[in-house]
Amino acid sequence: MASLEELQKRLFRKKDTFQEREQEPTLSPAPMGGPRSWGSGEDPELERQRQQQRARRLMRYALFATVALGTIALVGAAIFFIFLRERASVTREHIFLLIEGPSQITVGEEVVFDVRFRNNNNIPLESVDIIFEYPEGAMPVFGASPRSGPFRERVSVGRLLPNEERHESFRGYLFGNKGDTLIARSTLEYRPQNSSARFGKDVSFEVVVTRSPVGVAIAMPRDAVGGQEVEITVDYVSTTESSLADVSLDVLYPSGFTFVSAEPIPSKDTNLWRLGNVPPGGEGHIRIHGTIDGNAEESKFFTARVGLLDEATNVWSGYGQAIGSLVMRDALLAVSVDIDESIKDGVVPGHHVTFRINWRNNLPVSARNVVLEANLSGVAIDYARVRSQTGSYDSANKRVVWTASQIPEFRFVEPGAAGTVEIEVPVLAQLPIHTLADKNFVVRLDAALYTNTVPEGFVGVETTGKTTASVNVITQFGFVSRGLYRSGVFQNTGPLPPHVAQETTYTVSWSLTSSANDMEGVSARASLPANVRWKNMTSPAGEQVSYDPDTREVVWDAGFVVAGTGYAKPAREVSFQVGLAPGVSDVGRAPVLVSPATAAGTDTFTGFRMEQTSATVTTRLSNDSQVNTNEYEVVQ
């Protein structure tokens, strides 16, 4: 025990060592003898490895055999599938489609297109249709032209057997300009046998227009200055050996051109002439006069067309056309007019238009005794109040003139000299409207800068500069909302003055007026207070008046209001009935029947959006002369 106690002390003693245990004890395995297997002298581990190698070889042989057989099967299936597809599928490449027709035509000639098609597939095509689209501008031989879109025909063929070939013919009149290439198109639509899907194949064909049955020529000056009057001459001649029926001629004008007159007079508007039947070799002439405006060096193009016009659809089938042009030049004595942007698109009656006239000498030499003249026109002008600080106003001839007496510089105007003068033109507050034809008023100014002394070196050369400026007059749009009881179209009921908790009905009348111009898209709307009931009574029956109980809004869709309404003809009116059951809080007051109503619409002549708001309608019926003032306010 002593040794054990000593050992414990040494275990807890610092820096004590156990040298007798510095080497680890080792154990030696006991030797074993005897054979490693029973009944054989071979190693069993070697035998096991040989068996595993044989199993792996067998698995490789099986895998190779499986892959080989699978490859053979896939190749066979692919060959079989390709064979079946070649035998049973339909491809576009095996459908023959062709358009046959003339390669060149004369305008207006009847043309026959032959569409040939063949099924080179091994199975039938079902529900076969041939769609033929004529060249643009073509007309049918029979029936009417389409109102819109291309001219097409569809023919149902039905079933098309393998190797079966057919054809369909299509006839039409072709139109275009000489040198045009017209394109016809055809589509074969089909459904393969035992399939619900539809497919198509397309083909096109080109035709060149080589000749026109009517020759057209247009002549005009090569250039012009702003405001200059020009003459355009259109000549036409038939080049066919047969008559042409229902022929029309029109001229498309460029921007800045103002038509003045024509000989013969146009059949419609200012640019359409119905020539009727034109015999072989028949010819004619049209002379058009008008003024042209534009910027310097701007080209202006005029197009004259001869052909057939379907006025119902406005579709034009042309026999031929001609295009002429002129170039705008600065006048040698140039003049232009500016207008304030605020009134450029329209002026309100009772206001005025200020025209600023700019002049300039573009001659390389001086101009002597120059005159600037401005002529006013338009019945809406208050000619008695026209003013110009520097010009001399001739009220009898409605013109303002500036000479060397008013502008000393005009006595001898140097090259490049320029200046500006002004005219203030007032518009009548009350326009002269007596009939429905009194509408679309315009304030117009025609200015000219000229000299009666021919500048040196410019004998026979037109030096005068001209220009025109105008402002449209905006309509006077009016809207009134009135409350009535004993007047108006309805028989109202209930006490007057209104009593608490008792319903009194009232008539609300709305009226619209438009002085100078037509109005479109006109509507009026207002809302009813919570204590006012809609009585579902409106007049006249033809007016579109509606009430929305959710928003409590009353809407009058007036639509189009003609110029002169309320002036040359009675105002446009509508009436509806409402009921008021006042409360105790309304005693001694005039309750609201309808909120302020707003009417709006568009002036068709100036494009201005117009809007008017009326006053609130209350039981204070000042517009009903049969109601006394002591009947306005609510009593107990």
Shared domain check, 339 and 460? yes
Query: Residue 76 above 60 pLDDT?
Result: no
Predicted local confidence at residue 110, as pLDDT: 86
For residue 366, being part of any structural domain is answered with yes
Shared domain check, 341 and 312? no
Asked if 424 and 352 count as a contact pair (C-beta separation under 8 A), the reply is yes
Predicted local confidence at residue 64, as pLDDT: 67
Asked if 147 and 140 count as a contact pair (C-beta separation under 8 A), the reply is no
Mean pLDDT of 386-397: 95
For residue range 519-540, what is the model confidence (pLDDT) as tens digits? 999 999 999 999 999 999 999 9
Higher local confidence (pLDDT), 13 or 381: 381
Q: Which domain holds residue 422?
A: 333-472
Mean pLDDT of 499-527: 97
Predicted local confidence at residue 140, as pLDDT: 84
Cα–Cα distance for residue pair 72/79, rounded to 1 Å: 11
Domain end among 272, 307, 329: 329
Asked if 632 and 621 count as a contact pair (C-beta separation under 8 A), the reply is yes
Q: Give the CATH number, domain containing residue 337.
A: 2.60.40.10
Predicted local confidence at residue 42, as pLDDT: 53
Query: Residue 323 above 60 pLDDT?
Result: yes
pTM for the predicted model, two decimal places: 0.60
For residue 18, being part of any structural domain is answered with no
Shared domain check, 620 and 498? yes
Shared domain check, 371 and 277? no
Q: What are phi and psi of 408, to 5 degrees?
A: -55, -30
Predicted local confidence at residue 452, as pLDDT: 92
Predicted local confidence at residue 52, as pLDDT: 72
Residue 370 CB burial class (10 angstroms; 0-12, 13-18, ≥19): buried
Predicted local confidence at residue 96, as pLDDT: 96
Q: What are phi and psi of 199, to 5 degrees?
A: -130, 175
Mean pLDDT of 326-347: 91
For residue 76, being part of any structural domain is answered with no
Predicted local confidence at residue 86, as pLDDT: 45
For residue range 567-620, what is the model confidence (pLDDT) as tens digits? 999 999 999 999 999 999 999 999 999 999 999 999 999 999 999 999 999 999
For residue 172, being part of any structural domain is answered with yes
Give the residue from 343, 541, 588 showing the smallest Cα distance to 443: 343
Tell me the torsion sign for CA atoms 517, 518, 520, 525.
positive
Cα–Cα distance for residue pair 271/268, rounded to 1 Å: 7
Query: Omega into 497 within 30° of 0, i.e. cis?
Result: yes
Predicted local confidence at residue 133, as pLDDT: 94
Shared domain check, 615 and 598? yes
Q: Report helix, strand or coil for 356.
A: strand
Burial 555-570 (b: 16+ CB within 10 A, else e): ebebeebebbbbbbee
The two three-digit tokens of residue 427, written as one number: 């518009």
For residue range 9-31, what is the model confidence (pLDDT) as tens digits? 666 665 555 555 545 555 455 44
Shared domain check, 462 and 506? no
Query: Residue 258 above 70 pLDDT?
Result: yes
Shared domain check, 379 and 297? no
For residue 546, being part of any structural domain is answered with yes
Cα–Cα distance for residue pair 174/172, rounded to 1 Å: 6
The two three-digit tokens of residue 353, written as one number: 């238009």
Burial 372-390 (b: 16+ CB within 10 A, else e): bbbbbebebbeeeebebee
Listing from the earlier edge strand, what are the strands of the sheet with 228-238? 214-219, 228-238, 283-292, 257-263
Shared domain check, 487 and 467? no
Query: Omega into 264 within 30° of 0, i.e. cis?
Result: yes
DSSP string, 193-222: TT----EEEEEEEEEEEEE-SEEEEEE--S
Shared domain check, 601 and 493? yes
For residue 560, being part of any structural domain is answered with yes
Higher local confidence (pLDDT), 5 or 113: 113
Asked if 479 and 511 count as a contact pair (C-beta separation under 8 A), the reply is yes
Total domains, the chain: 4
* Residue keyed to tokens 């409360």: 583
Query: Residue 115 above 90 pLDDT?
Result: yes
Give the residue from 226, 225, 216 showing the smallest Cα distance to 302: 216
Cα–Cα distance for residue pair 258/360, rounded to 1 Å: 24
- Output the CA angle 76-79-83, nearest 5 degrees: 140
Give the residue from 114, 100, 174, 115 showing the smallest Cα distance to 141: 174
Shared domain check, 430 and 349? yes
Query: Residue 482 above 90 pLDDT?
Result: yes
Query: Residue 413 above 80 pLDDT?
Result: yes
The two three-digit tokens of residue 528, written as one number: 């009813």
For residue range 121-175, what is the model confidence (pLDDT) as tens digits? 999 999 999 999 999 878 888 766 666 668 899 999 999 999 999 999 999 888 8
Predicted local confidence at residue 37, as pLDDT: 42
Predicted local confidence at residue 13, as pLDDT: 63
Query: Residue 84 above 50 pLDDT?
Result: no
Query: Residue 75 above 80 pLDDT?
Result: no
Predicted local confidence at residue 621, as pLDDT: 96
Shared domain check, 133 and 106? yes
> Quick one: pLDDT band at residue 102, thresholds 50, 70, 90?
very high
Percent of the chain with pLDDT over 90: 69
Strand-pair category, 315-329 with 223-225: parallel
For residue 370, being part of any structural domain is answered with yes
Domain end among 472, 491, 514: 472
Asked if 596 and 615 count as a contact pair (C-beta separation under 8 A), the reply is yes
> Quick one: pLDDT band at residue 45, thresholds 50, 70, 90?
low
Q: What are phi and psi of 605, to 5 degrees?
A: -85, -40
Asked if 591 and 618 count as a contact pair (C-beta separation under 8 A), the reply is yes
pLDDT, averaged across the chain: 88
Mean pLDDT of 413-432: 96
Enclosing H/E stretch for 62: helix 44-88
> Quick one: pLDDT band at residue 385, thresholds 50, 70, 90?
very high
For residue 585, being part of any structural domain is answered with yes
Domain end among 424, 452, 472: 472
> Quick one: pLDDT band at residue 460, thresholds 50, 70, 90?
confident
Predicted local confidence at residue 35, as pLDDT: 47
Predicted local confidence at residue 18, as pLDDT: 55
Shared domain check, 342 and 320? no
Give the residue from 617, 599, 629 showing the smallest Cα distance to 529: 617
Cα–Cα distance for residue pair 427/445, rounded to 1 Å: 13
Angular region, 130: left φ>0, alpha ψ -120 to 50, beta rest: beta
The two three-digit tokens of residue 162, written as one number: 């393998």
Q: Report helix, strand or coil for 460.
A: coil
Q: What are phi and psi of 47, to 5 degrees?
A: -65, -40
Query: Residue 253 above 70 pLDDT?
Result: yes
